[in-house]
Structure 1
Amino acid sequence: MADLPRLNNVIRALEAGQHALTCFAPAHTDSAIAMSASKYDGCVFEMEHNPWDSGRLRDCLQYMLNRAQIAKAGLVPPVTPMVRIPVNGVEMAQWQAKQALDSGCYGIVFPHISTVEEAANAVGACRYPRMKNAPLYEPVGIRGDGPTAAARYWGLSQQDYYKKADVWPLNPEGEIFCIIQIEDTKGVENLDDMLKNVPGIGAILIGEGDLSQELGYPRQYEHKVVLEWMKRIVDTCKKHNVVVGHPHVETGNAERIIKEGYRFLMMAPVQSYGHFASAQKLTGRS
């Protein structure tokens, strides 16, 4: 166990004080092959606004494997695969997160989280249960036990997988990155309580599309009212020393976003990597 490397490159970057460079990617095998050879730290397969298909997700994970990369780098995947699931926070569901983690995903994006209870449910869905007197008991784990495929995908024994399959940074050895999206004013107003009472959140990802819709300025991402509400999220995350992410990093806004304090940066998965190159230079990772 002590000799195992850090498997999650998104966590690796953040632990080193760097920015994590990531993107959304379509959940199909051609995209998975392209992502596996990209320069991103991680990619998030987009399944919130597409039909949920756990078999297709598992295919994507398999197509990200490259035998030459494995021979060179060992167990560490060059690009860490994660997924955004469809279920909203208010539904208090866990089954899609369970299926994604059981397939081998290293992280889950939970959309539309607005309350402390919803945030705790999201983190708990990424954790196995443990006794009340065990260390790091809270948030209570509710993930069902079915590790066979995930342990095989990570290249670990089941016992080593159990030790690593916990949320970072609550568990410093954990490899699972739990991201919750704040997408409405209720979520913004409750964020301070969420971060105060729910340990184990890896990052807060701003859902500026839905937030701007509610505010009456749909997709007007540079509107001052939208930016004011986004700043409230950033300021709250800074107060609690929690990573904050931006879903629409482009060449034109990258410098501003980085200066504002975003560290989980998501770009369009384009082959030219123009946005990526800009963000890489601005974050000192070129």
Structure 2
Amino acid sequence: MDSGKRQFLAASAGLSVGLAATGAMAQGAAAGATRRPNAPRPSREPSVNSGVQPSTVDWNYKPRRINKVIELWEDNQPIYYTGAGVVPGVDPYEQGVKMSRTYADALCYETEHGALDFTAIREFMRGVRDGGPTRSGHRFPAVFVSTPIIGLDEAYMRANSWVLSQLLDCGIMGIHICHARDPKAIQVAAQMAVRYPFDYPNTPKLPMRGLRGSSAGWAAEVWGITTNKYVHIADTWPLNPRGELFFGVKIEDTFADPNTAKTLAVPGISMAEWGPGDHNYWLGDLASIPEDGPMAENYEARADMAGVRQNVLDLCKKNSLRFLNAGSTDPNRADYIIKQIQDGAMVIESREDSAIMGREFTKRRMPV
């Protein structure tokens, strides 16, 4: 979630107010966008989704999967995400209910700098479950966690692997590892911490065996399936074609950069990002961070930053991973949504106006 962290921390906290205006703005952002006539909207639903749909939407759409993110990737469609909005003073259950009808396909529950509170995460997941289903017919938007556990080294990851399995037991559908410096650390996370020990059908046998144990009863309840069924499908995609979990990494500092090729070749990864916010700290200096006022406009376009982005993008393509980048509606910005999609971005941190524009561009069928 690093790429637009400043904007999205603010957006998450005030989403119910800001998106009412965003929806109106988005009407003009995507030519041909349509709203379903008389579309039902529960009385408790806040203004987190304007209801604007791509002109290509299929209102007879039937979900194939529990995880709508993976379903969209299988259809070669980008996914759009925003923050979960769980901040101090916000009830996590009520926030989950509120965000169950978000414009986004996925919600990033941020614990890299936010509180790692397993009870709050479970309550949030209970809320998104109770507030669903989504307009696409999925039980809830996919929820993934950016973790405080970083990819420091193998020993560190082994010692902290329990955190990742605890997060999955909350019912979330994805893990995102920050500062993915060491390929061995990522191997431990992707192959041991987030997987069960089984040899799954049509799935490569990996050097490390999964550590998740019996039983993830709460996660299964949130997903609306039995515990036994959960064990069969709670594996990482695309490693396991039937898997309903995804696993991401952030290449976001100068220790991670030299190892990027090896890191992104680790089996079990689904997506990767280049972390411009943190990379700007590592490639720049304190003088480049204004003590008062905003960051320099379009700093992501600097040559050193663009080089890091291109390397991660190229290696994502080489390893069939989904590339993550922020997306905006401003054609003069480095993160312009249409250019990001044309470059191959498949995971886009985005406000609703950008998501509307992107969905129209790719002729998406799945309702929002």
TM-score scaled by structure 2?
Answer: 0.69
What corresponds to 1:61 in structure 2?
A: 125
Q: Which of residues 225, 241, 244 is equivalent to 2:323? A: 244
What corresponds to 2:280 in structure 1?
A: 212
Contact kept, 8 Å, 1:48 with 1:84, in 2: the verdict is yes
Aligned-pair CA distance for 1:30: 4.4
Task: Encode CA deviations 1:56-92: one digit per residue, 9 max, x unaligned.
Answer: 111110111236638994xx32411221111111131
CA distance in 1, matches of 2:161, 2:139: 26
Q: 1:259 to 1:243 in 2, by over 3 A?
A: same
Is the aligned partner of 1:14 residue 2:70?
no
More relative contact order, 1 or 2 (CA 8 Å, 6+ apart): 2
What corresponds to 1:88 in structure 2?
A: 150
CA distance in 1, matches of 2:151, 2:132: 40
CA distance in 1, matches of 2:313, 2:198: 33
Task: Encode CA deviations 1:212-245: one digit per residue, 9 max, x unaligned.
Answer: 2111166622222101111111011112221111
What corresponds to 1:256 in structure 2?
A: 339
Q: Which of residues 150, 156, 167 is equivalent to 2:236? A: 167
CA distance in 1, matches of 2:98, 2:327: 20
Is the aligned partner of 1:109 residue 2:176?
yes
Q: For the aligned residues, what is the CA RMSD?
A: 2.6
248-257 or 51-60: bigger deviation: 248-257
Give aligned-pair identity as a percent.
Answer: 27
CA distance in 2, matches of 1:148, 1:212: 42
110-119 or 54-63: bigger deviation: 110-119
Q: 1:282 to 1:224 in 2, by over 3 A?
A: farther
Q: Which runs of 5+ in 1 are unaligned?
A: none
Is the aligned partner of 1:194 residue 2:263?
yes
Contact kept, 8 Å, 1:166 with 1:175, in 2: the verdict is yes
How many pairs were matched up?
Answer: 275
Q: 1:30 to 1:235 in 2, by over 3 A?
A: same
Contact kept, 8 Å, 1:41 with 1:78, in 2: the verdict is no
Q: 1:30 to 1:151 in 2, by over 3 A?
A: closer
Task: Encode CA deviations 1:29-60: one digit per residue, 9 max, x unaligned.
Answer: 44423321123221111111112111011111
Amino acid at match of 2:147: I
Contact kept, 8 Å, 2:203 with 2:239, in 1: the verdict is no
